[in-house]
Amino acid sequence: MGPRPNLLTRRTAGVATSTLALLLSTAAVGVVPAASAFSAAPAGVCAEPADAHGHADARVAKGGHPRLDPNELTAQQVREREADLAAAQRERANFRTGPTVTPLASVTIPVVVHVIQENSTRAGGNIPDSLINQQITVLNQSYAGSTGGAATAFAFQLTKINRVTNPSWYPIVQGSSAERSMKTSLRTGGKNTLNIYLGELSDGLLGWATFPKRTLDKMDGVVVLSESLPGGTATNYNQGDTGTHEVGHWLNLYHTFQGGCSGSGDSVSDTPAEASPAYECPTGRDTCSTAGKDPITNFMDYTYDSCMYQFTAGQASRMLTAWNAYRAA
């Protein structure tokens, strides 16, 4: 596929609004049926390391060596998660709790951003509001399909920026008691509210996220390296796509390389199988014998921000299915 088209234009335009009306095609492409299960990674977290992968969802940068990728799941965890998704769909249908979002509807997700700072300096985590606003723009463009991929049903509206100076929470350490204390103290809103925590991160991670669950807990949300926001200092990972990737996990997407070349993979039929994470932008990479080259331009891989630009129609459909099952008010 190759590098993202017109990437510079997209990244510098900054004109998308957080109330974009998005359309999801009624001809949603093949989501693999939820026949195997769906189980959360450690504490239901999905984390992305900076170049390696572990057991909860995350994003990793090239050259990073985190001890754990909280968003990488075992086959058993995937089976459990898929079974839970099917159960949540049945539960919603049986009890008709809350509105169901149809394929042509749009969903505007309220976003609360928590900036975790060690002190008032930029080096201490005090990033400007402009980077946060640009991140919201990137989310809207990515999920609208305006960067070259399929349109999804989702748009994002920034409702609050919450700045917290607390050295005991800095850097943010995945899976730590400090992370739990931070989220327990700060998380706000219902299951439909996206809480994003920004700061310096541990273990070479660019970010991590929780998968949706039927019962909301305080750990729900997305953690992102603050300097990975558009205009940040994280070279090759500073165009906002860590945020895009982690929100994909929050909306129930797996990595494109989940499960490798066998089994149900990422449970989406229109993302070609991939044996392992792709880094940089390895055009033409093909690690599985099944049809299709590796989806290196997909937001749910590990390539440079300049290389990734799309979700597929199947991923858009899967996210909407999960929204109706887990997060619709």
The string of pLDDT tens digits covering residues 285-309 is 999 999 999 999 999 999 999 999 9
Q: Is the pLDDT of residue 155 over 90?
A: yes
Structure tokens of 42? 């450690």
Q: Are 210 and 111 in contact (CB under 8 A)?
A: no
Does the model's pTM come out above 0.85?
no
For the chain, how big is the Rg over CA atoms in Å?
Answer: 18
> Is residue 68 very low, low, confident or very high in pLDDT (cuts 50, 70, 90)?
low
**106-253 belongs to which CATH class?**
alpha beta
Where do the domains of the chain lie?
A: 106-253, 256-310
> Is residue 99 very low, low, confident or very high in pLDDT (cuts 50, 70, 90)?
low
pLDDT tens by residue, 233-268: 999 999 999 999 999 999 999 999 999 998 789 999
pLDDT tens by residue, 179-205: 999 999 999 999 999 999 999 998 889
For 65, other C-beta atoms within 10 Å of its C-beta total 11
Question: Among 82, 179, 246, 274, which one carries the catalytic annotation?
Answer: 246
Where is 116: in which H helix or E strand? strand 107-117
- The residue with tokens 């299915």 is 321
Q: Is the pLDDT of residue 102 over 70?
A: no
Active site residue 274: no
Residue % of the chain over a pLDDT of 70: 76
- The residue with tokens 């994470």 is 277
- Greater confidence, 66 or 18? 66
